[in-house]
Amino acid sequence: MQFDIKKCQPIFKQADTKNKGFLSMDQLFYAITRLLRIQINMATLEIIMTLTDENNDGVTQEDEFCHIVYICENADLRDTQSILFYAADNDYSGTIEKSELFNVSKKLGIETNELELFAMMSVLTGTQTDEQSLNYDMFEHIMDILIKRNNKQNKQYEDILIDKIQQRQHVINLKNNSVSFI
């Protein structure tokens, strides 16, 4: 599976009609559904956007856009686990390394550390090197364990992601409504 990152730039530029260097949610939806002709609903795209919004500014920069395209082209968009897998895969390799697993866990608010993840990955992969990587089934297994262990309210992936979207939206609203005293 080789992702062609070069195709993203012209589509991003076409969707960025005001040349601001970022896409609003509406522009992102237009780029994905109209320009790339990928069938996705706004709620699913918002989940993906939340997972890829590295600086939590509520808009999509070009590198984030490329990651969103990668997710939309490879994930089963009806399956939250699949979306999480491809959202975690920052290097577009089709596998998840320890740092990628740690980052997606942090994004979901899961309390863990890299040593714990290394131990879990060692058991699943049968290796104890920093070169470990997880396929989809291994990733799904580890995420199930982490979610169940950290989930005192018995929330599902979808509920956790909805909470993250609401938190992000609250922060964006605060930024947009802040008053400058300078």
pLDDT digits (tens, 9 = 90+) for 106-140: 888 888 888 888 888 988 888 877 778 999 999 99
Angle between helical axes of 114-125 and 136-150 (0-180°, round to 10): 140
Domains delineated in the chain: 1-92 (1.10.238.10)
pLDDT digits (tens, 9 = 90+) for 60-82: 999 999 999 999 999 999 999 99
pTM comes to: 0.83
Phi then psi for residue 80, to 5 deg, are -60, -40
For the chain, give the mean pLDDT: 86
Cα–Cα dist 94/106, whole Å:
20
Strands (E), the chain: 96-97, 133-134
Tell me what the mean pLDDT of segment 32-56 comes to: 94
Enumerate the β-bridge partners of residue 97. 133
> What pLDDT was estimated at residue 82?
96
